[in-house]
């Protein structure tokens, strides 16, 4: 009976919706009449096999993967370009594709790297295959590959709601300059990082009893830096050849200043990252605890972090000759988010099994980045290096009882330890590739995402070049 089972979830009600009979609450049961009103205000503008929400490393790769399997695909992204944290957070490099020169993550993610390299936009740091990149060419390469795959793009569009029958998602509601619009689809992939769609659909999330999450860091581009100096050449690369990637001499001096009573905010690293332009580096050093799913808290912390950017720039200028002429050329479109919601999936990857490289029958991707857990307060970072590449099971992408929803990227089902490695961008791309192929298979076969053939999925991923 439509009247009681059809539900509308809205993140926020627009003025128009607030005046309607539909209550502007998070979840409303709709009568047929109310459903018609919603359609009028949020008309259906596309019907798809697969809708991917979020165009970050997991999202853009999953959209390409699903489209290459013949699905009719749309991708929804709230910014006017793709790349997620790489381009909206100035997070670099893309970590990590290889162990001792051997690829661990292959297929479409690696194709993207090689394409970007051929455009002059990527520098591959062997033996780990950390990828330094030009942020603007990254955006261009992303959009070319998405469009070439035949994916419909909805940029400048935030997903603000979904309509459900029971646990099946019928559509997502997006908001852009046209107003509210509805995208109907057979399968949805949540690649929002924060698990926005899963949250709206009331998928249970991983418990977080102590409320601890990794801090937010606002990255920025510093220009006028002596990138030819010995210090920067030692610190700008992340291949492990020159020791840890954090810039130790700068770190030690800042810690000494702090110990001597200089009033400096907490910091991480610092990491100075190669952006492939002489004189410029992407800086990752600010750090404050933040809840990215709480608008007021995140806005307040972002303002503090912006102050920190300019404070640290002054400190660098005044204390290190390599930075004496530096200036803030650009701040990222938003502060970076390391950790927020993660679903409770059919399987939750635990740190211990991850570190021990436990293999699953449904392993669909891998990861070799260390467990890399930044403290939300202070300057500490807990790090455990992996000796063997870990595995990710398909079940970590699937919420029980939700037949047409997959998640990919940092919101998959893991504990905090496993997440602290799997959150990096190459790993998110590998998982995204699997989610896209799985979604397309579910559509072709007309089955729930829980019932696809994982052996066929794995065969497809291997055909593309995944290392499983
Ligand atoms: C400071 C910092 C440093 C890091 N350092 C590294 C590093 O050195 N190497 C590395 O590989 N990784 C690093 N990471 C981790 C990595 O950047 C992220 O974990 C990774 O980008 C997550 O990918 P994702 O696709 O899951 O999500 P994201 O990259 O966050 O992408 C999500 C996308 O969804 C969009 N979106 C979100 N909500 C909506 C919505 N409601 N509607 C429409 N669109 C939406 C966003 O705009 C975004 O484009 C770092 C992260 C941070 C914050």
Q: Which residue's CA is the closest to the ligand 1 atom numbered 49?
A: 84
CB 122 within 8 A of CB 133: yes
CB 57 within 8 A of CB 86: yes
Give me ligand 1 centre to Cα 408, in Å: 11
The 10s digit of each residue's pLDDT in 431-441 is 999 999 999 99
CB 467 within 8 A of CB 103: yes
Ligand 1 atom nearest the C-alpha of 219 is 1
User: How would you classify residue 276: left for phi > 0, otherwise alpha for psi between -120 and 50, otherwise beta?
Assistant: left
Provide, for the chain, the percentages of residues in helix, strand and coil under a 3-state DSSP scheme, each rounded to the nearest 5.
Answer: 35, 25, 40
What average pLDDT is seen over the chain? Answer: 93
The 10s digit of each residue's pLDDT in 337-358 is 999 999 999 999 999 999 999 9
CB atoms within 10 A of CB 236: 23
The 10s digit of each residue's pLDDT in 90-106 is 999 999 999 999 999 99
- Residue among 51, 139, 192 to mutate when testing ligand 1 (max atoms within 8 A of CB): 192
Whole-number pLDDT of residue 320: 97
Angle between helices 108-118 and 425-445 (to 10 degrees): 120
HSE, side-chain direction, 13 A CA sphere, residue 134? 15
What CATH superfamily is the domain 48-209+342-464? FAD/NAD(P)-binding domain (3.50.50.60)
Q: In whole angstroms, what separates CA 340 from the centre of its chain?
A: 11
CB 80 within 8 A of CB 142: no
- Residue among 9, 12, 56 to mutate when testing ligand 1 (max atoms within 8 A of CB): 56
Give me ligand 1 centre to Cα 307, in Å: 22
Measured CA to CA, the distance from residue 413 to residue 192 in angstroms comes to: 14
Measured CA to CA, the distance from residue 172 to residue 44 in angstroms comes to: 10
* pLDDT bracket for residue 453 (50, 70, 90): very high
Residue tagged 């999925």 (tokens) = 457
Give me ligand 1 centre to Cα 340, in Å: 11
Rounded to an integer, the average pLDDT of 71-76 is: 98
- The answer, yes or no, to whether residue 309 has pLDDT greater than 50, is yes
The 10s digit of each residue's pLDDT in 236-253 is 998 877 667 889 999 999
Give me ligand 1 centre to Cα 56, in Å: 6
Ligand 1 atom nearest the C-alpha of 337 is 53
- The answer, yes or no, to whether residue 15 has pLDDT greater than 70, is no
Vertex 228: Cα angle to 225 and 233 (nearest 5): 100
Closest CA to 217 of 125, 293, 282: 282
Q: Which residue's CA is the closest to the ligand 1 atom numbered 17?
A: 85
CB 64 within 8 A of CB 149: yes
Ligand 1 atom nearest the C-alpha of 158 is 42
Measured CA to CA, the distance from residue 335 to residue 67 in angstroms comes to: 31
Ligand 1 atom nearest the C-alpha of 273 is 8
Vertex 194: Cα angle to 91 and 419 (nearest 5): 70
Measured CA to CA, the distance from residue 365 to residue 433 in angstroms comes to: 9
Residue tagged 């790489």 (tokens) = 86
pTM, full prediction: 0.95
Closest CA to 437 of 410, 393, 416, 406: 406
Pairing status of strand 152-154 against strand 73-76: parallel
Rounded to an integer, the average pLDDT of 168-178 is: 96
CB atoms within 10 A of CB 40: 10
Q: Which residue's CA is the closest to the ligand 1 atom numbered 30?
A: 193
Domain parsing of the chain, residue ranges: 2-41, 48-209+342-464, 220-331
Give me ligand 1 centre to Cα 318, in Å: 32
Determine whether 19 is exposed, middle or buried from the number of CB atoms within 10 Å of its CB (0-12, 13-18, 19+).
Answer: exposed
The 10s digit of each residue's pLDDT in 112-143 is 999 999 999 999 999 999 999 999 999 999 99
- The answer, yes or no, to whether residue 229 has pLDDT greater than 60, is yes
- Residue among 11, 91, 381 to mutate when testing ligand 1 (max atoms within 8 A of CB): 91
Rounded to an integer, the average pLDDT of 221-250 is: 90
Give me ligand 1 centre to Cα 7, in Å: 29
- Quote the tokens at residue 306: 């912006």
What percent of the chain clears pLDDT 70, i.e. is strictly above it?
94
User: How would you classify residue 84: left for phi > 0, otherwise alpha for psi between -120 and 50, otherwise beta?
Assistant: left
Whole-number pLDDT of residue 29: 65
């Amino acid at each position: 009976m439509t009247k009681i089972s059809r539900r509308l979830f809205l993140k926020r009600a627009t003025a128009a919706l607030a005046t309607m009979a539909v209550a502007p609450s998070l979840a409303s049961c709709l009568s047929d009449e109310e459903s018609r009103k919603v359609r009028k205000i949020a008309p259906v503008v596309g019907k798809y096999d697969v809708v991917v929400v979020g165009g970050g490393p997991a999202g853009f790769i999953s959209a390409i993967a699903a489209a290459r399997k013949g699905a009719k695909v749309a991708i929804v992204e709230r910014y006017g370009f793709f790349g997620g944290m790489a381009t909206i957070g100035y997070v670099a490099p893309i970590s990590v594709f290889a162990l001792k020169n051997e690829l661990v993550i292959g297929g479409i993610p690696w194709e993207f790297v090689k394409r970007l390299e051929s455009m002059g936009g990527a520098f591959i740091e062997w033996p780990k295959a950390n990828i330094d990149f030009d942020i603007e060419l990254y955006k261009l390469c992303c959009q070319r590959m998405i469009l070439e795959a035949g994916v419909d793009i909805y940029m400048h569009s935030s997903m603000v709601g979904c309509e459900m029958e029971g646990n099946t998602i019928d559509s997502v509601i997006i908001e852009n300059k046209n107003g509210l619009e509805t995208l109907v689809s057979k399968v949805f992939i949540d690649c929002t990082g924060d698990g926005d769609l899963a949250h709206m659909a009331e998928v249970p999330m991983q418990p977080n009893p102590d409320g601890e999450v990794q801090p937010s860091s606002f990255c920025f581009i510093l220009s006028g830096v002596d990138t030819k100096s010995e210090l920067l050449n030692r610190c700008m690369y992340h291949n492990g050849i020159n020791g840890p990637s954090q810039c130790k001499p700068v770190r030690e001096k800042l810690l000494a200043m702090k110990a001597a009573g200089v009033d400096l905010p907490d910091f991480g690293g610092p990491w100075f990252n190669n952006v492939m332009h002489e004189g410029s580096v992407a800086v990752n050093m600010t750090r404050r605890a933040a809840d990215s799913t709480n608008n007021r808290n995140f806005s307040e912390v972002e303002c503090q972090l912006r102050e920190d950017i300019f404070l640290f720039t002054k400190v660098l200028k005044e204390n290190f000759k390599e930075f004496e002429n530096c200036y803030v050329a650009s701040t990222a479109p938003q502060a970076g988010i390391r950790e927020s919601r993660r679903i409770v999936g059919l399987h939750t990857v635990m740190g211990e099994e991850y570190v021990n490289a436990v293999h699953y029958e449904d392993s669909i991707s891998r990861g070799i980045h260390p467990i890399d857990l930044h403290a939300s307060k202070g300057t500490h970072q807990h790090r455990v290096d992996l000796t063997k590449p870990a595995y990710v099971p398909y079940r970590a992408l699937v919420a029980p009882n939700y037949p047409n929803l997959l998640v990919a990227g940092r919101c998959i089902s893991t504990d905090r330890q496993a997440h602290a490695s799997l959150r990096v961008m190459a790993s998110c791309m590998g998982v995204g590739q699997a989610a896209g192929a799985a979604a397309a298979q579910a559509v072709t076969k007309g089955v729930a995402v829980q019932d696809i053939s994982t052996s066929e999925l794995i065969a497809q991923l291997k055909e593309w070049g995944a290392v499983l």
